[in-house]
């Protein structure tokens, strides 16, 4: 599965706070002010929140401080209380809290930045810059100071192919990278670059690093691969401010869990930096405080009670590779484990809850029997991946149960449609399932058919009628039931797991 990392780590990095009640530079919006505000503002960030949401509470003080700091740049921050403005939030398809969106004269785009003050400020300032800034020799130092990682392309003025590529890079990643271009051949030579060339300026590791250009012109794929790797620090401590950069790199992430109080901590991190450098373009190696984030260790299928430990996660598939027992020679042990991972010699760890007995028409699936019940060739299978603590999931539960009862009582539906659910906090979705988990609940339909594994994601209203229509439209068997049908016979249960 491709796993949206925010689900997994939001709880790990959250710190409780409260929305400020005092005078605020954050604009409060409602249904009467929203349209005018978004249409008129050249650049604004809007938070859609619920007062009871712990992650919203954690964001609040950072959001307030960022709003104040961005005022001089005429970048406004606003918020919408979705418990009061349900219709507006529904219209905007807000499915989780907090949701942040960047607005430019009414046009919305997802916010993909950090949720701490400095990260919000940096992200929004980048949004205000032109996609590509023109850089002179005199202005280079000032440009370098705009962020901890900036990229400058050196190209001839007549090199249209390179200019097109750098513009494409800048537009595609304007929320992540500050990009400039210079036509100064002498300036390029001063920074060990040719024309065309690309140089990354950093406030970490080596302050300058150049792309080894393989062709006559710059191209988007080559530049993306370069900046994705070079924009993250070697063997840094992973935290809320830098986490997004590691995710955006697209590389697997290897977590070295260790207590910061361990006597050999600094020495071991120094040794592991050499390992990180060797595998830099294949795996990002970081260290993480095992005492603060022991819960995250367990989420990566580590025991969570013995340190140091290592776990690798493929950020695209979600596959986890835990190493609980490190040798005393930490460098050698970590190097050997990452080497095996890179060469494809490791098998992922799949967490599964115990296989349950069934006492409902909704089949409770766990990872160990996922393929058996979700990839049932004979049936159209509706799968809900839920979290026990999720309010949306709790609200859906009676509707989902009624849905299962209706199909179980239906002559055709009882044999051709299966309504199943899985606790996404206690079970890993097998990587080969190729499921994108974007939020809880995530609802998908696997149509019947031999060897069929492609899923159709449900994005409609979570009403009984809409779910029935979805199954009838996308299922192979096209089975439909009436919401008013009697379900007296629904006590007959699915086969025991």
Domain boundaries, the chain: 8-127, 129-230, 243-342, 363-491
And the tokens for 122?
A: 């940096």
Residue range 431-452, pLDDT digits in tens: 888 887 778 999 999 999 998 8
* Among candidate residues 439, 428, 425, the one with its CA nearest the CA of residue 392: 439
More confident residue, 477 or 496: 477
Q: Is the pLDDT of residue 350 over 70?
A: yes
Q: Is the pLDDT of residue 490 over 50?
A: no
Domains 129-230 and 243-342 share a fold: yes
Specify the CATH number for 8-127; select among 3.40.30.10, 3.40.50.720, 3.40.50.2300, 3.40.190.290.
3.40.30.10
* Among candidate residues 396, 420, 409, 374, the one with its CA nearest the CA of residue 483: 409
Q: Which CATH superfamily is domain 243-342 in?
A: Glutaredoxin (3.40.30.10)
Evaluate the omega torsion of the peptide bond into residue 126 and state whether it is cis, within 30 degrees of 0: no
* Among candidate residues 107, 82, 110, 108, the one with its CA nearest the CA of residue 97: 82
Residue range 360-414, pLDDT digits in tens: 999 999 999 999 999 999 999 999 999 999 999 999 999 999 999 999 999 999 9
Band the pLDDT of 248: cuts 50, 70, 90.
confident
Contacts with 484 (C-beta within 8 Å, 6 or more apart), sequence order: none
And the tokens for 360?
A: 């409902």
Catalytic residue, chosen from 44, 45, 53, 78, is 53
- Least confident residue range of 2-11, 75-84, 290-299, 474-483: 2-11
Q: Give the pairing of strands 99-104 and 320-323.
A: unpaired
Q: Is the pLDDT of residue 496 over 60?
A: no
pLDDT of residue 487: 63
When pLDDT is averaged across residues 463-487 and rounded to a whole number, the result is 90
Catalytic residue, chosen from 390, 397, 456, 472, is 390
Evaluate the omega torsion of the peptide bond into residue 51 and state whether it is cis, within 30 degrees of 0: no
Catalytic residue, chosen from 135, 223, 374, 393, is 393
Give the CA distances from residue 370 to residues 61, 248, 376, 467, in Å, rounded to whole numbers and listed in that order. 42, 29, 10, 22
Band the pLDDT of 13: cuts 50, 70, 90.
very low
When pLDDT is averaged across residues 44-69 and rounded to a whole number, the result is 95
Q: Give catalytic status of residue 390 as yes or no.
A: yes
Q: Is the pLDDT of residue 155 over 70?
A: yes
| Residue reference for tokens 């959250």 | 14
Q: Give catalytic status of residue 56 as yes or no.
A: yes
Band the pLDDT of 130: cuts 50, 70, 90.
confident
When pLDDT is averaged across residues 174-192 and rounded to a whole number, the result is 92
Catalytic residue, chosen from 1, 26, 29, 56, is 56
Q: Give catalytic status of residue 82 as yes or no.
A: no
Band the pLDDT of 171: cuts 50, 70, 90.
confident
| Residues 15, 21, 24, 26, Cα dihedral to 10° | 60
Q: Give the pairing of strands 417-423 and 363-364.
A: parallel
Q: How far apart are CA 97 and CA 63, in angstroms?
A: 14
When pLDDT is averaged across residues 187-202 and rounded to a whole number, the result is 95
Band the pLDDT of 317: cuts 50, 70, 90.
confident
| Residue reference for tokens 């010699």 | 345
| Residues 144, 148, 154, 159, Cα dihedral to 10° | -120
* Among candidate residues 495, 383, 462, the one with its CA nearest the CA of residue 430: 383
What is this structure's pTM? Answer: 0.65
**DSSP label at residue 464:** H
Q: Give the pairing of strands 149-154 and 178-182.
A: parallel
Query: What stretches of 115-248 adopt beta strand conformation (E)?
Result: 133-134, 149-154, 178-182, 197-202, 208-210
| Topology (CATH) of 363-491 | Glutaredoxin (3.40.30)
> Which CATH number applies to 129-230?
3.40.30.10
Contacts with 291 (C-beta within 8 Å, 6 or more apart), sequence order: 259, 260, 261
How many C-alpha atoms does 33 have within 13 Å on its Cβ side? 10
CB atoms closer than 10 angstroms to residue 429 = 23
């Amino acid at each position: 599965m491709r796993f949206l990392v925010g689900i997994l780590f939001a709880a790990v990095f959250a710190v409780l706070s409260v929305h400020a009640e005092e005078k605020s530079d954050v604009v409060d919006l409602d249904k009467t002010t929203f349209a005018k505000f978004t249409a008129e503002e050249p650049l604004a960030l809007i938070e859609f929140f619920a007062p009871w949401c712990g992650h919203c509470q954690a964001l609040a003080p950072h959001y307030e401080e960022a709003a104040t700091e961005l005022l001089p740049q005429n970048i406004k921050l606003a918020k919408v209380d979705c418990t009061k403005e349900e219709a507006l939030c529904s219209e905007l398809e807000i499915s989780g809290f907090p949701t942040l969106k960047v607005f430019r004269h009414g046009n919305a785009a997802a916010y993909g930045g950090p949720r701490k003050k400095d990260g919000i400020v940096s992200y929004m300032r980048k949004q205000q810059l032109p996609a590509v800034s023109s850089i002179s020799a005199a202005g280079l130092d000032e440009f370098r100071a705009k962020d901890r990682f900036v990229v400058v392309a050196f190209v001839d003025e007549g090199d249209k192919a390179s200019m097109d590529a750098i513009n494409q890079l800048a537009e595609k990643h304007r929320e992540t990278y500050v990009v400039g271009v210079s036509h100064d051949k002498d300036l390029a030579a001063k920074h060990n670059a040719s024309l065309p060339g690309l140089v990354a300026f950093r406030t970490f590791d080596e302050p300058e690093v150049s792309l080894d250009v393989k062709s006559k012109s710059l191209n988007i794929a080559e530049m993306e691969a370069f900046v994705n790797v070079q924009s993250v620090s070697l063997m840094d401590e992973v935290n809320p401010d830098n986490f997004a950069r590691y995710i955006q790199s697209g590389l697997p992430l290897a977590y070295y869990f260790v207590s910061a109080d361990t006597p050999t901590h600094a020495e071991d991190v120094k040794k592991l930096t050499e390992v990180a450098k060797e595998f830099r373009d294949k795996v990002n190696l970081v260290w993480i405080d095992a005492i603060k984030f022991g819960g995250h260790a367990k989420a990566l299928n580590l025991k969570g009670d013995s340190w140091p430990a290592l776990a690798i996660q493929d950020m695209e598939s979600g596959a986890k590779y835990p190493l609980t027992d490190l040798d005393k020679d930490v460098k050698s042990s970590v190097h050997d484990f990452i080497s095996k991972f890179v060469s494809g010699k490791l098998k992922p760890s799949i967490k599964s809850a115990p296989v349950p007995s069934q006492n409902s028409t909704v089949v409770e699936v766990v990872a160990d029997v996922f393929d058996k019940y979700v990839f049932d060739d004979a049936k159209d299978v509706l799968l809900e991946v839920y979290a026990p603590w999720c309010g949306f999931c709790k609200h859906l539960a009676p509707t989902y149960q009624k849905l299962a009862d209706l199909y179980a009582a239906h002559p055709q539906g009882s044999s051709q449609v299966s309504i199943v659910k899985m606790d996404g906090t206690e079970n890993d979705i097998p990587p080969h399932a190729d499921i994108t988990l974007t939020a809880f609940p995530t609802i998908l339909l696997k149509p019947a058919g031999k060897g069929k594994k492609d899923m159709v994601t449900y994005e409609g209203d979570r009403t009984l009628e809409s779910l029935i229509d979805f199954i009838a439209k996308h299922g192979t068997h096209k089975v439909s039931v009436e919401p008013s049908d009697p379900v007296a016979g629904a006590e007959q249960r699915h086969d025991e797991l």
